[in-house]
Structure 1
Amino acid sequence: MKLTCFIYSGVIPFHGFSMYVAPLCFLYNEPSKLYSVFREMYIRYFFRLHSISSSFSGIVSLCLQFERLLQTHLPQLFYHLRQIGAQPLRIAFKWMVRAFSGYLSTDQLLLLWDRILGYDSLEVVAVLAAAVFAFRAENLMEVTSLASAEAVLADLSTLKVIPLIQIFLFATAI
């Protein structure tokens, strides 16, 4: 799909990276700045979500981190979902590989990406994925199939990123 950002000074075509560029169009009017920020973020972070490596910040490690977080904080939910054939990672992978772009509202996505920059780490993506499961845990414990689990987790556009992460990380009991 070709995304075209209409910016005051012209039109910039981006092929294949629209999921990362579109949110940045809200922040930058100047094409050269938009490109520079997109390029830097992709080179520093997002490329790791699209390549298999042993890097601690690569997608494989993030998947492992997500599963460990879910098993540690929500073991009953984790095993319930696996038992009904709804592998949690199968659901969360699509969020993580896109750094939640296209799933969260733009303002919340930018808050998430701000945390990625602030912590200089993609780990917050795995934490947020686990936090989403924790937030919807009550409904997920009632599902009986992958399709119904996906339905419970289909719309993330109303979620508030920072409170979710904080509650997940700092609550004494989830």
Structure 2
Amino acid sequence: MPDIDLKILEKGGEQGLPPVHTWSPPFCGDMDMVIKANGDWVHQGGKMKRPAMVTMFSRILWLEEGEYFLMTPVEKVRIQVEDAPFLVTTWQWIETDKGRAIEFVTQTDDVRVLGVDCDIWLEPFAEEEHPYISMRYGMKALVGRHVFYALAENLVQVETLNGMGLGLISAGKSYLLMQDE
């Protein structure tokens, strides 16, 4: 089982994100790491308890052809993800140049603004509809249950290309979450 050399990551780019999209290292094998559906990161059977370590690993996460990898400029190791690699843990209303918007924060301190740099949708997982937002490199974040319940209190009537129903309006963009029948 490979170990990944993290010394190369001491200097992050914009917002602490290394330029993973510019790297093309060789595949070095599988790592015994799983991102659980509840957002826990598990390495060699034990939950990673240091949030800073989880955040650091999340910065080098890459999605390619439906598989997840941790990458540095010189190596690439595959890990497993049960559902979504990120979990939205908090949200708040903010003001933007496009109007009032919803700001999401993940367990790895990623900040996304609905309608500006992410979208929200529902899709099935384990026979239930789950809410997700878009993340970097085609990845997604599960919106935590308590966050989604709080958002549900802010649903309004919206009309989108997909129809009419209840949804959210953020940064001037409408998101249909429950279609009228």
TM-score, scaled relative to structure 2: 0.24
**Larger RCO (alpha carbons 8 Å, 6+ apart):** 1
Q: TM-score, normalised to structure 1's length?
A: 0.25
The structure richer in helix per residue is: 1
